[in-house]
């Protein structure tokens, strides 16, 4: 048996006994935990009427113990006592039943050590056929592996696993397998914020600038009014703009600073627009007011009290764990392993990795009004606030009349599933899809974790589990959904095939392919690098991109991208200025707003001393001499009565001080040295030939 941190070898778990005082009959199933400090031990107990008194058995999942026999079961009034047969240390549970007979609480004693225990009556729900359904549905939707847990009133009612966490090594999924939970992280962020609101450090409804004065969006009025509640309910007016952070490895402070350069598409509080960057900003506000990192606060305020010791925030930590799931993607009728995606920068919006064994404590916390055992993580009023709908999300007709959307709460979505209010949030990141869901009024919660991205599998499993716990007939959502997915895949493929219909035939790039090569900068999206790939272009936005072929004019198109299939078909347009130089790259990275403009950056060699020395010298402009010299890493130009420091511009052009419409371009010889210079002015171009050095 596993030895707990207090040194007690716990080999049986406390049972909460369903009990009728008149009949003194505690028969039924009970689940709960022994409150061992730092390591609560969960158990499930089954009691049944026997010829002489009662018989029963107990499961202890953490010790891989199932069906251990109980003995010395005694029921007198409200007092219930029992032990586990054949266990050393004289372990014994002695507890008192609550007035409603649904809870048994008392003390567990073994080897002289005492610990509190609480058990609750578990309604008998039939999961007959669920394992087969899990296996079949997993195969149908090409999911390598999954782990599922059902919670009732804070106790684990069922745990199921299916498939593998690693296809190549054929390693099975276990209840302890770590998966990325993606955007299910958002509810952890809002709970953290709730604890800081209770501490008086934050306020949901005061402007964000109250706590972070430098916070700004592209609209000054919205910047002054927007609140924390707005940030976490997706009503900021900003569309997703996910490629700002996706793949980026920059600091959170810089990401928050870049928000001011992103165009909004709606007014504040008018439309639901899912936005990961706003959750990042909310998490950053928490960091700013406390001086602690988001990760450290979640560990201290949530993970530690819930016993979530293996849950973490970095894929490299998960990948180093002996029991972790590898990430997979299904495309072109094949399931392929893909790289882990490091999303540390956007952490508060989706970076947590966990297992179903640890996530059940998280669900139980929400079912228990913010209490973990006797400890309140947040007050019940705060938990109700987190679950209260703030922003309508619009109607979803995909499930017909059986599901009605209500809206978005604080880090949670809320709908009505076949008459029962459901609070839930999914998560999707490269190679993983998760869903955390619960029925508050019925006291049931569900966790589904998978190692395949963009799959409806978790939602279908939760719907079937809801059918069971609500005593409803199983509804077949899967067949219709699989058909719709097949149609959607066919349409997507057909759309890519038809792209050439819009192509203007007979056009070609306006310039040699090498002229497009360079670095292009957007103040929010960052640096985009363009390199030559044969007669094609390789476009890279902080690790995201692909090979682009000429489409028409100065437009190039991404034909295929295995890591990001959704980029297939993306077009980039190169913009030419009045001098014929390519000065910008345009991409539609957020469909709700206009194309993002990336300005071309000067070539790095224009600050390189060795290159600048190739330009140094005197140039004769029809009798007037322009002299170019190097000062530090800058090039200067001197003419009679004039002296300028030149500023590097794209396409090997230098700007002349602050003068608009004035620039300098050098013509290089075969040896790399300048042979002439073109000085551009609004009235024309003046050409100067290099004067041979004496």
Residue-wise pLDDT for 124-160, tens only, equals 677 889 999 999 999 999 999 999 999 987 788 899 9
Q: What is the CATH number of the domain that holds 621?
A: 2.40.128.50
Kindly state whether residue 165 falls inside one of the protein's structural domains. Answer: yes
With 0-12 CB in 10 A as exposed, 13-18 as middle and 19+ as buried, what is 398?
A: exposed
Q: Give the separation between CA 186 and CA 393, rounded to whole angstroms.
A: 17
Q: Give the separation between CA 104 and CA 510, rounded to whole angstroms.
A: 80
Structure confidence at residue 14 (pLDDT): 31
Domain boundary among 83, 98, 122: 122
Instruction: Identify whether residues 331 and 366 lie together within a single domain.
Output: yes
Kindly state whether residue 675 falls inside one of the protein's structural domains. Answer: yes
Domain boundary among 122, 148, 166: 122
Instruction: Identify whether residues 198 and 305 lie together within a single domain.
Output: yes
Q: Give the separation between CA 28 and CA 584, rounded to whole angstroms.
A: 71
Cα–Cα–Cα angle for 256, 259, 261, rounded to 5 degrees: 140
- What is the number of alpha carbons within 13 Å of residue 150 lying toward its C-beta? 24
Q: Give the separation between CA 314 and CA 340, rounded to whole angstroms.
A: 10
Kindly state whether residue 21 falls inside one of the protein's structural domains. Answer: no
Tell me the pTM: 0.81
* 478 compared with 154, residue with greater pLDDT: 478
Question: Is the predicted pLDDT of residue 496 greater than 80, yes or no?
Answer: no
Task: Point out the least confidently predicted range of 89-93, 222-226, 300-304, 550-554.
Answer: 89-93
Instruction: Identify whether residues 590 and 512 lie together within a single domain.
Output: yes
Instruction: Identify whether residues 563 and 616 lie together within a single domain.
Output: no
Instruction: Identify whether residues 134 and 113 lie together within a single domain.
Output: no
Kindly state whether residue 12 falls inside one of the protein's structural domains. Answer: no
> Which DSSP symbol is given to 40?
-
Instruction: Identify whether residues 204 and 90 lie together within a single domain.
Output: no
Instruction: Identify whether residues 593 and 653 lie together within a single domain.
Output: no
**Mean per-residue pLDDT for 550-574?**
84
Q: Give the separation between CA 325 and CA 114, rounded to whole angstroms.
A: 38
Give residue 2's pLDDT band: very low, low, confident or very high (50, 70, 90): very low
Task: Determine how β-strand 634-639 pairs with β-strand 65-76.
Answer: unpaired
Question: Is the predicted pLDDT of residue 1 greater than 50, yes or no?
Answer: no
Question: Is the predicted pLDDT of residue 493 greater than 80, yes or no?
Answer: no
Question: Is the predicted pLDDT of residue 355 greater than 80, yes or no?
Answer: yes
- With tokens 């079949």, the residue in question is 136
Q: Give the separation between CA 663 and CA 653, rounded to whole angstroms.
A: 7
Domain boundary among 600, 625, 645: 600
Instruction: Identify whether residues 49 and 171 lie together within a single domain.
Output: no
Cα–Cα–Cα angle for 272, 273, 279, rounded to 5 degrees: 110
- CA distances to 39, 362, 451, 548 from 307, in Å: 6, 10, 24, 49
> Which DSSP symbol is given to 679?
E
Kindly state whether residue 96 falls inside one of the protein's structural domains. Answer: yes
Structural domain that includes position 470? 130-485
* 104 compared with 409, residue with greater pLDDT: 409
Instruction: Identify whether residues 625 and 596 lie together within a single domain.
Output: no
Q: Write down the mean pLDDT value for the chain.
A: 89
* 42 compared with 2, residue with greater pLDDT: 42
Contacts of 351 (CB under 8 A, 6+ apart): 185, 313, 314, 343, 344
Q: What is the CATH number of the domain that holds 95?
A: 2.40.128
Instruction: Identify whether residues 571 and 467 lie together within a single domain.
Output: no
- End-to-end distance of the chain based on CA atoms, in angstroms? 93
Q: Which two tokens stand for residue 634?
A: 């800058």
Structure confidence at residue 17 (pLDDT): 32
Kindly state whether residue 187 falls inside one of the protein's structural domains. Answer: yes
Instruction: Identify whether residues 570 and 661 lie together within a single domain.
Output: no
Q: Give the separation between CA 298 and CA 536, rounded to whole angstroms.
A: 47
Instruction: Identify whether residues 244 and 333 lie together within a single domain.
Output: yes
Q: Which two tokens stand for residue 480?
A: 């219709």
Structure confidence at residue 497 (pLDDT): 63
Give residue 7's pLDDT band: very low, low, confident or very high (50, 70, 90): very low
Q: Give the separation between CA 235 and CA 240, rounded to whole angstroms.
A: 11
Contacts of 43 (CB under 8 A, 6+ apart): 12, 13, 14, 15, 31, 32, 33, 34, 58, 59, 60, 119
Structure confidence at residue 673 (pLDDT): 92
Number of structural domains in the chain: 4
In this structure, what are the phi and psi dihedrals at residue 297, rounded to the nearest 5 degrees?
Answer: -70, -40
Other Cβ atoms less than 10 A from the Cβ of 497: the count is 9
Structure confidence at residue 592 (pLDDT): 95
Element (H, E) at 66: strand 65-76
- CA distances to 83, 435, 613, 617, 666 from 631, in Å: 87, 61, 11, 13, 18
């Amino acid at each position: 048996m596993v030895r707990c941190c207090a040194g007690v070898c716990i080999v049986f778990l406390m049972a909460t006994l369903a009990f009728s005082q008149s009949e003194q009959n505690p028969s039924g199933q009970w689940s709960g935990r022994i409150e061992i400090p730092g390591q609560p031990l969960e158990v499930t107990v089954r009691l049944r009427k026997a010829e002489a008194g009662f018989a029963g058995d107990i499961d202890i999942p953490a010790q891989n113990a199932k069906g251990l026999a109980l003995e010395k079961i005694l029921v007198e009034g409200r007092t219930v006592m029992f032990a586990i047969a054949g266990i050393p240390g004289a372990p014994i549970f002695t507890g008192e039943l609550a007035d409603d007979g649904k809870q048994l609480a008392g003390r567990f004693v073994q080897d002289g050590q005492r610990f509190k225990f609480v058990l609750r009556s578990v309604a008998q729900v039939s999961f007959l056929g669920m394992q087969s359904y899990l296996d079949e549905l997993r195969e149908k939707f090409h999911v390598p592996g999954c782990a599922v847990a059902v919670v009732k009133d804070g106790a684990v009612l069922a745990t199921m696993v299916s498939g593998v966490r690693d296809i190549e090594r054929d390693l099975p999924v276990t209840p302890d397998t770590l998966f990325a939970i993606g955007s299910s992280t958002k509810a952890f962020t809002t709970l953290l914020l709730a604890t800081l609101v209770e501490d008086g450090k934050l306020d949901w409804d005061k402007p964000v600038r109250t706590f972070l004065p430098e916070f700004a969006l592209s609209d000054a009025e919205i910047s002054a009014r927007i609140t924390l509640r707005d940030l976490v309910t997706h009503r900021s007016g900003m569309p997703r703009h996910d490629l700002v952070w996706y793949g980026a490895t920059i600091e959170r402070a810089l990401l928050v600073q870049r928000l001011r350069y992103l165009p909004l598409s709606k007014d504040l509080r008018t439309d639901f627009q899912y936005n990961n960057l706003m959750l990042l900003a909310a998490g950053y506000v928490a960091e700013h007011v406390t001086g602690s990192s988001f990760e450290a606060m979640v560990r201290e305020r949530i993970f530690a009290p819930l016993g979530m010791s293996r849950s973490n925030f970095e894929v490299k930590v998960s990948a180093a764990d002996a029991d972790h799931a590898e990430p997979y993607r299904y495309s072109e009728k094949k399931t392929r392993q893909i790289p882990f995606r490091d999303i540390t920068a956007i952490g508060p919006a989706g970076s947590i990795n966990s297992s179903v064994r640890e996530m059940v404590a998280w669900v139980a916390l929400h079912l228990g009004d913010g209490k973990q055992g006797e400890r309140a993580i947040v007050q019940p009023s705060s938990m109700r606030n987190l679950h209260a709908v703030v922003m309508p999300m619009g109607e979803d007709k995909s499930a017909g009349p059986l599901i009605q959307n209500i809206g978005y709460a604080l880090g949670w979505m809320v709908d009505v599933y076949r008459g029962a209010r459901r609070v839930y949030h999914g998560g999707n990141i490269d190679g993983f899809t998760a869903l955390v869901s619960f029925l508050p009024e019925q006291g049931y919660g569900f966790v589904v974790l998978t190692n395949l991205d963009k799959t409806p599998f978790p939602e279908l499993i939760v719907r079937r589990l809801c059918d069971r716990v609500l005593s409803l007939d199983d509804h077949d959502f899967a067949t219709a959904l699989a058909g719709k997915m097949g149609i959607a895949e066919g349409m997507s493929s057909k759309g890519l095939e038809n792209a050439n219909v819009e192509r203007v035939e007979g056009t070609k790039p306006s310039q040699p392919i090498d002229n497009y090569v360079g670095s292009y900068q957007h103040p929010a999206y960052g640096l985009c690098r363009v390199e030559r790939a044969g007669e094609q272009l390789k476009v890279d936005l902080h690790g995201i991109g692909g090979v682009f072929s000429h489409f028409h004019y100065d437009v190039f198109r991404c034909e295929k991208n295995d890591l990001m299939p959704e980029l297939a078909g993306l077009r980039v347009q190169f913009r030419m200025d009045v001098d014929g130089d390519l000065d910008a790259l345009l991409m539609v990275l957020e469909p709700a707003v206009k194309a993002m403009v990336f300005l071309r950056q000067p070539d790095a060699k224009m600050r390189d001393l060795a290159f600048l020395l190739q330009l140094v010298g005197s140039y004769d402009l029809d009798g007037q001499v322009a002299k170019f010299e190097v000062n530090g890493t800058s090039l200067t130009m001197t003419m009679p009565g004039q002296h300028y420091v030149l500023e590097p511009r794209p396409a090997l052009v230098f700007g002349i001080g602050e003068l608009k419409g004035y620039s300098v371009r050098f013509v290089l010889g075969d040896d790399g040295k300048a042979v002439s210079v073109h000085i551009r002015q609004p009235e024309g171009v003046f050409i100067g030939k290099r004067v041979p050095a004496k």
